Structure 1
């Protein structure tokens, strides 16, 4: 089973849950293009990083015969969700893989692909709306609008961009897919 990003549910409001997310590490790629194209384009290099396209920071291992050999790449467990957020200009997207809990910058292997950045995101209070369905920009935009309205109606103040979270692989039937829109809010 795939590890899921941890959070603590603080309250239920009409249309969303109020959650506290702990600080966590992500592997991130910045991609230009449409919502759908960006998600598809970023997935490949991020999946390659998890699959071993990286440089291990581990110590030298000893192999026989011949003595020490440099440690190679390593596989990293897949974690859900895959997160997509608008970048700093039109048609620019940040696509992130949440890395396994307990990872540190010192223990994670270095990406081979220079487009991949490893970052730590701080603890955050956020409103989250869960839904099932297809991964279209229209579906996510409609849910993001509804979440923003519900957050304002609950008396909370948004503090950042909406994130779009996908939890299931593409072969999961659309009606069984878990998706979320997540909006950071003020403490």
Structure 2
């Protein structure tokens, strides 16, 4: 059985780049600290606990992909051309999120028991995306983010968010079969 992913339409494709239009979605997200790897693991565990039943009705929620991680910008920061991760260190604060299955609404999604897990609905959004396989680390994410930003410049696409780093596979997946993406929201 395939794992559910957010619904999107590809508007433009120039491998490894795509411009996508995503349908509205609901996220479960947590704010965590550490480097990319630490934050990713800690955030995953907190949200996994929520979807595996640590919610007000002890309901298991189907796992979806990807797991996304985004560097938290300081409140006063201006966001310039930047990932599923903007790799400049910013006190090591990150937002890790899962998209909730499409069957849920804000009204019927179980409430988390852990106050660190926040539920948020986001409207339809356009995103520029670069896909890559293999293992990831902060340097590889930064390199792919720069490639995506350069592609966006060639297409005159305006940045509307910090980059998000998205992982689609469990840790035991062979490197050449792993799917990773950097996503940057685009202004209309």
**Structure 2: distance between partners of 1:77 and 1:14:** 30
Q: Answer yes or no: is 1:34 the counterpart of 2:56.
A: no
For residues 50-89 of structure 1, what are the structure 2 equivalents within 5 Å?
50-56=51-57, 73-89=58-74
Q: Using the TM superposition, give the Cα deviation of residue 135 of structure 1 relative to its aligned residue in structure 2, in angstroms.
A: 2.4
Q: What stretches of structure 2 of length at least 5 have no aligned partner?
A: 75-89
Q: Answer yes or no: is 1:21 the counterpart of 2:22.
A: yes
Question: How large is the Cα RMSD of the aligned pairs?
Answer: 1.1
For residues 117-132 of structure 1, what are the structure 2 equivalents within 5 Å?
117-132=118-133
- TM-score, structure 1 as length reference: 0.88
2:27 match: secondary structure: strand
Work out whether residues 162 and 182 of structure 1, in 8 Å CA contact, stay in contact via their aligned partners in 2. yes
- TM-score, structure 2 as length reference: 0.88
Work out whether residues 24 and 120 of structure 1, in 8 Å CA contact, stay in contact via their aligned partners in 2. yes
Question: Which residue of structure 2 aligns with residue 162 of structure 1?
Answer: 163
**Structure 1: distance between partners of 2:23 and 2:7:** 7
**Structure 1: distance between partners of 2:29 and 2:155:** 32
**Structure 2: distance between partners of 1:11 and 1:101:** 24
Q: Which runs of 4+ in 1 moved over 3 A?
A: none
Work out whether residues 14 and 150 of structure 1, in 8 Å CA contact, stay in contact via their aligned partners in 2. no
Question: Which residue of structure 2 aligns with residue 69 of structure 1?
Answer: none
Question: Which residue of structure 1 aligns with residue 174 of structure 2?
Answer: 173
Work out whether residues 4 and 81 of structure 1, in 8 Å CA contact, stay in contact via their aligned partners in 2. yes
Deviations 1:91-137 (CA, angstroms, capped at 9, x unpaired) = 11000011101311111111111100000011111111111011211
The structure with the larger Rg is 1
Deviations 1:75-106 (CA, angstroms, capped at 9, x unpaired) = 00001000001112411100001110131111
Work out whether residues 15 and 147 of structure 1, in 8 Å CA contact, stay in contact via their aligned partners in 2. no
Q: Using the TM superposition, give the Cα deviation of residue 13 of structure 1 relative to its aligned residue in structure 2, in angstroms.
A: 3.5
Q: What stretches of structure 1 of length at least 5 have no aligned partner?
A: 57-72
Work out whether residues 17 and 128 of structure 2, in 8 Å CA contact, stay in contact via their aligned partners in 1. yes
Question: Which residue of structure 2 aligns with residue 70 of structure 1?
Answer: none
